[in-house]
Amino acid sequence: MRPVDLVYRLYENRLLASLDRSRFPRHVGIILDGHRRYARSEGLASYTDSYRAGMRRFEEFIGWTEELDIPAITGWLLSKENLERPRDELEPYFDVLTELFDRLPATCRRHGMKVRFIGSLDLLPDRVVEAAKRAAEVCADGNRHLTIAVGYGGRQEIVDACRDLVARLAGEGVPAEQMADRIDAEGIAAHLYSADLGDVDLVIRTSGESRLSGFLLWQSAYAEFVFVDVYWPAFRRVDFLRALRDYTRRERRFGR
Protein backbone atom coordinates (compact mmCIF):
# COMPACT_ATOMS: atom_id res chain seq x y z
CA MET A 1 0.00 0.00 0.00
CA ARG A 2 1.33 3.40 -0.98
CA PRO A 3 1.92 5.90 1.86
CA VAL A 4 -0.77 8.20 0.48
CA ASP A 5 -3.26 5.30 0.46
CA LEU A 6 -2.41 4.48 4.05
CA VAL A 7 -3.00 8.09 5.06
CA TYR A 8 -6.40 8.09 3.37
CA ARG A 9 -7.31 4.77 4.98
CA LEU A 10 -6.48 6.13 8.42
CA TYR A 11 -8.42 9.31 7.70
CA GLU A 12 -11.42 7.32 6.48
CA ASN A 13 -11.44 5.19 9.63
CA ARG A 14 -11.21 8.25 11.83
CA LEU A 15 -13.97 9.99 9.88
CA LEU A 16 -16.21 6.93 10.01
CA ALA A 17 -15.73 6.58 13.75
CA SER A 18 -16.89 10.16 14.23
CA LEU A 19 -20.19 9.69 12.37
CA ASP A 20 -23.53 9.18 14.12
CA ARG A 21 -24.91 6.16 12.29
CA SER A 22 -28.35 6.68 13.79
CA ARG A 23 -28.62 9.81 11.63
CA PHE A 24 -27.61 8.18 8.35
CA PRO A 25 -29.98 8.61 5.41
CA ARG A 26 -32.25 5.71 4.50
CA HIS A 27 -32.39 6.61 0.81
CA VAL A 28 -29.49 8.19 -1.08
CA GLY A 29 -29.76 9.62 -4.58
CA ILE A 30 -26.53 9.95 -6.55
CA ILE A 31 -26.00 11.92 -9.77
CA LEU A 32 -22.98 10.45 -11.57
CA ASP A 33 -21.72 13.57 -13.31
CA GLY A 34 -18.42 14.49 -14.95
CA HIS A 35 -17.33 11.48 -17.04
CA ARG A 36 -16.35 13.48 -20.12
CA ARG A 37 -14.60 16.21 -18.17
CA TYR A 38 -12.71 13.54 -16.26
CA ALA A 39 -11.53 11.99 -19.53
CA ARG A 40 -10.26 15.35 -20.76
CA SER A 41 -8.57 16.23 -17.47
CA GLU A 42 -6.79 12.85 -17.32
CA GLY A 43 -5.86 12.83 -20.99
CA LEU A 44 -7.67 9.54 -21.61
CA ALA A 45 -7.75 8.16 -25.12
CA SER A 46 -11.55 8.09 -25.26
CA TYR A 47 -14.68 8.77 -23.24
CA THR A 48 -15.19 5.00 -23.10
CA ASP A 49 -12.31 4.74 -20.63
CA SER A 50 -13.90 7.25 -18.27
CA TYR A 51 -17.35 5.67 -18.67
CA ARG A 52 -15.93 2.28 -17.66
CA ALA A 53 -14.09 3.83 -14.71
CA GLY A 54 -17.31 5.53 -13.63
CA MET A 55 -19.38 2.35 -13.77
CA ARG A 56 -16.76 0.46 -11.80
CA ARG A 57 -16.87 3.24 -9.23
CA PHE A 58 -20.66 2.92 -9.12
CA GLU A 59 -20.30 -0.76 -8.26
CA GLU A 60 -17.87 0.19 -5.50
CA PHE A 61 -20.36 2.76 -4.28
CA ILE A 62 -22.99 0.03 -3.94
CA GLY A 63 -20.58 -1.80 -1.66
CA TRP A 64 -19.91 1.31 0.41
CA THR A 65 -23.61 1.77 1.10
CA GLU A 66 -23.92 -1.84 2.25
CA GLU A 67 -21.03 -1.38 4.68
CA LEU A 68 -22.88 1.61 6.13
CA ASP A 69 -26.31 -0.09 6.27
CA ILE A 70 -27.97 2.33 3.86
CA PRO A 71 -30.95 0.39 2.51
CA ALA A 72 -31.86 2.28 -0.67
CA ILE A 73 -29.93 3.94 -3.50
CA THR A 74 -31.13 5.66 -6.64
CA GLY A 75 -28.38 6.27 -9.19
CA TRP A 76 -28.92 8.56 -12.18
CA LEU A 77 -26.84 7.11 -14.98
CA LEU A 78 -28.47 8.76 -18.00
CA SER A 79 -30.95 11.61 -18.36
CA LYS A 80 -33.58 11.91 -21.03
CA GLU A 81 -31.83 15.07 -22.21
CA ASN A 82 -28.54 13.15 -22.54
CA LEU A 83 -30.16 11.19 -25.37
CA GLU A 84 -29.91 14.31 -27.53
CA ARG A 85 -26.11 14.09 -27.56
CA PRO A 86 -24.25 13.03 -30.74
CA ARG A 87 -24.48 9.33 -31.50
CA ASP A 88 -20.70 8.96 -31.48
CA GLU A 89 -20.77 9.95 -27.79
CA LEU A 90 -23.84 7.91 -26.89
CA GLU A 91 -22.94 4.60 -28.52
CA PRO A 92 -19.83 3.98 -26.38
CA TYR A 93 -21.82 4.83 -23.28
CA PHE A 94 -24.59 2.42 -24.30
CA ASP A 95 -21.93 -0.28 -24.64
CA VAL A 96 -20.62 0.46 -21.14
CA LEU A 97 -24.13 0.47 -19.67
CA THR A 98 -24.79 -2.91 -21.23
CA GLU A 99 -21.59 -4.23 -19.66
CA LEU A 100 -22.61 -2.84 -16.27
CA PHE A 101 -26.10 -4.33 -16.44
CA ASP A 102 -24.63 -7.71 -17.36
CA ARG A 103 -22.46 -7.56 -14.21
CA LEU A 104 -25.28 -6.41 -11.94
CA PRO A 105 -26.61 -9.85 -10.99
CA ALA A 106 -23.28 -10.78 -9.41
CA THR A 107 -22.91 -7.36 -7.81
CA CYS A 108 -26.40 -7.35 -6.36
CA ARG A 109 -26.22 -10.91 -5.05
CA ARG A 110 -23.01 -9.93 -3.30
CA HIS A 111 -24.64 -6.91 -1.67
CA GLY A 112 -28.18 -8.22 -1.16
CA MET A 113 -29.89 -5.77 -3.49
CA LYS A 114 -33.12 -5.79 -5.44
CA VAL A 115 -32.80 -3.90 -8.73
CA ARG A 116 -35.25 -1.86 -10.74
CA PHE A 117 -34.87 0.50 -13.68
CA ILE A 118 -36.82 3.71 -14.13
CA GLY A 119 -37.08 6.14 -17.02
CA SER A 120 -38.01 6.02 -20.69
CA LEU A 121 -36.34 2.72 -21.49
CA ASP A 122 -38.25 2.60 -24.77
CA LEU A 123 -35.91 5.33 -26.05
CA LEU A 124 -32.80 3.21 -25.48
CA PRO A 125 -31.17 0.70 -27.84
CA ASP A 126 -32.46 -2.87 -27.64
CA ARG A 127 -29.18 -4.21 -26.26
CA VAL A 128 -29.36 -1.86 -23.28
CA VAL A 129 -33.01 -2.60 -22.58
CA GLU A 130 -32.51 -6.36 -22.83
CA ALA A 131 -29.54 -6.24 -20.43
CA ALA A 132 -31.58 -4.13 -17.99
CA LYS A 133 -34.50 -6.57 -18.12
CA ARG A 134 -32.21 -9.54 -17.51
CA ALA A 135 -30.67 -7.81 -14.50
CA ALA A 136 -34.07 -6.86 -13.06
CA GLU A 137 -35.36 -10.43 -13.46
CA VAL A 138 -32.34 -12.01 -11.80
CA CYS A 139 -32.18 -9.36 -9.06
CA ALA A 140 -35.88 -9.39 -8.15
CA ASP A 141 -35.25 -10.14 -4.47
CA GLY A 142 -33.11 -8.53 -1.81
CA ASN A 143 -33.27 -6.67 1.47
CA ARG A 144 -31.87 -3.50 -0.06
CA HIS A 145 -33.03 -1.47 -3.04
CA LEU A 146 -31.03 -0.28 -6.03
CA THR A 147 -32.90 1.93 -8.48
CA ILE A 148 -31.15 2.85 -11.71
CA ALA A 149 -32.47 5.86 -13.62
CA VAL A 150 -31.72 5.68 -17.34
CA GLY A 151 -33.39 7.84 -19.98
CA TYR A 152 -34.91 9.47 -16.90
CA GLY A 153 -36.44 12.92 -16.47
CA GLY A 154 -38.08 14.18 -13.30
CA ARG A 155 -40.74 16.19 -15.09
CA GLN A 156 -41.64 13.18 -17.23
CA GLU A 157 -42.02 11.07 -14.10
CA ILE A 158 -44.52 13.51 -12.64
CA VAL A 159 -46.41 13.70 -15.94
CA ASP A 160 -46.56 9.90 -16.10
CA ALA A 161 -47.75 9.71 -12.49
CA CYS A 162 -50.57 12.18 -13.20
CA ARG A 163 -51.58 10.26 -16.32
CA ASP A 164 -51.66 6.98 -14.41
CA LEU A 165 -53.71 8.53 -11.63
CA VAL A 166 -56.24 9.97 -14.08
CA ALA A 167 -56.45 6.62 -15.88
CA ARG A 168 -57.12 4.85 -12.59
CA LEU A 169 -59.84 7.31 -11.65
CA ALA A 170 -61.42 6.93 -15.08
CA GLY A 171 -61.29 3.16 -14.67
CA GLU A 172 -63.11 3.52 -11.36
CA GLY A 173 -65.85 5.43 -13.13
CA VAL A 174 -65.10 8.85 -11.65
CA PRO A 175 -66.79 11.50 -13.85
CA ALA A 176 -64.46 14.00 -15.55
CA GLU A 177 -65.98 16.92 -13.65
CA GLN A 178 -65.12 15.26 -10.33
CA MET A 179 -61.56 14.21 -11.13
CA ALA A 180 -59.90 17.46 -10.06
CA ASP A 181 -61.19 16.91 -6.53
CA ARG A 182 -59.69 13.41 -6.47
CA ILE A 183 -56.19 14.41 -7.57
CA ASP A 184 -53.92 15.20 -4.63
CA ALA A 185 -50.29 14.87 -3.57
CA GLU A 186 -50.84 11.47 -2.00
CA GLY A 187 -52.44 10.13 -5.15
CA ILE A 188 -49.67 11.41 -7.41
CA ALA A 189 -46.95 10.07 -5.10
CA ALA A 190 -48.54 6.63 -5.23
CA HIS A 191 -48.02 6.53 -9.01
CA LEU A 192 -44.36 7.60 -9.14
CA TYR A 193 -41.89 5.15 -10.66
CA SER A 194 -40.55 4.06 -7.24
CA ALA A 195 -43.58 4.84 -5.09
CA ASP A 196 -42.71 2.19 -2.49
CA LEU A 197 -39.36 3.84 -1.66
CA GLY A 198 -40.81 7.20 -0.71
CA ASP A 199 -38.75 10.36 -0.59
CA VAL A 200 -34.99 10.57 -0.93
CA ASP A 201 -33.08 11.81 2.14
CA LEU A 202 -29.75 12.82 0.63
CA VAL A 203 -28.86 13.76 -2.93
CA ILE A 204 -25.18 13.86 -3.94
CA ARG A 205 -24.01 15.34 -7.23
CA THR A 206 -20.42 15.20 -8.40
CA SER A 207 -18.36 17.38 -10.78
CA GLY A 208 -19.02 20.74 -9.10
CA GLU A 209 -22.46 21.37 -10.61
CA SER A 210 -24.90 22.77 -8.05
CA ARG A 211 -28.28 21.85 -9.51
CA LEU A 212 -30.63 18.88 -9.70
CA SER A 213 -31.24 19.02 -13.47
CA GLY A 214 -34.57 17.27 -12.93
CA PHE A 215 -33.44 14.40 -10.68
CA LEU A 216 -36.20 13.05 -8.42
CA LEU A 217 -38.00 16.39 -8.43
CA TRP A 218 -40.97 15.18 -6.42
CA GLN A 219 -39.08 12.92 -4.03
CA SER A 220 -36.36 15.47 -3.20
CA ALA A 221 -38.70 18.21 -1.98
CA TYR A 222 -37.24 17.96 1.54
CA ALA A 223 -33.97 16.22 0.77
CA GLU A 224 -30.56 17.47 1.81
CA PHE A 225 -28.08 18.19 -0.99
CA VAL A 226 -24.33 17.78 -1.14
CA PHE A 227 -22.46 19.00 -4.22
CA VAL A 228 -18.97 17.56 -4.62
CA ASP A 229 -16.27 19.08 -6.83
CA VAL A 230 -14.64 15.83 -7.98
CA TYR A 231 -15.73 14.13 -11.21
CA TRP A 232 -17.65 10.91 -10.71
CA PRO A 233 -14.90 8.46 -11.83
CA ALA A 234 -12.62 10.06 -9.21
CA PHE A 235 -15.24 9.97 -6.42
CA ARG A 236 -13.73 8.19 -3.42
CA ARG A 237 -15.11 6.52 -0.32
CA VAL A 238 -13.75 9.41 1.71
CA ASP A 239 -15.80 11.83 -0.41
CA PHE A 240 -18.90 9.79 0.40
CA LEU A 241 -18.07 9.77 4.10
CA ARG A 242 -17.64 13.55 4.03
CA ALA A 243 -21.05 13.89 2.40
CA LEU A 244 -22.54 11.74 5.14
CA ARG A 245 -20.79 13.85 7.77
CA ASP A 246 -22.38 16.98 6.31
CA TYR A 247 -25.76 15.29 6.23
CA THR A 248 -25.65 14.07 9.83
CA ARG A 249 -24.77 17.57 11.06
CA ARG A 250 -27.83 19.18 9.51
CA GLU A 251 -31.17 19.68 11.18
CA ARG A 252 -33.91 18.44 8.86
CA ARG A 253 -37.10 20.48 9.17
CA PHE A 254 -39.17 19.14 6.29
CA GLY A 255 -40.50 22.59 5.49
CA ARG A 256 -41.64 23.26 9.04
Q: Which amino acid is at 1?
A: M
**Helix H or strand E encompassing 203:** strand 202-205
Instruction: List Cβ neighbours of 147 (8 Å cut-off, separation of 6 or more).
Output: 72, 73, 74, 75, 115, 116, 117, 118, 193, 194, 197
Return the closest-CA partner of residue 204 out of 196, 216, 192: 216
- Distance from the Cα of residue 43 to its chain's centroid: 27
Cα distance between residue 198 and residue 32, in whole Å? 21
Cα distance between residue 238 and residue 7, in whole Å? 11
Q: Of 49, 82, 95, 199, which is the active-site residue?
A: 82
Give the number of other Cβ atoms within 10 Å of residue 183's Cβ.
14
Phi, psi dihedrals of residue 31, rounded to the nearest 5°: -100, 110
**CB of 132 closer than 8 Å to CB of 152:** no
82 given a catalytic annotation = yes
33 given a catalytic annotation = yes
Q: Which residues are catalytic?
A: 33, 82
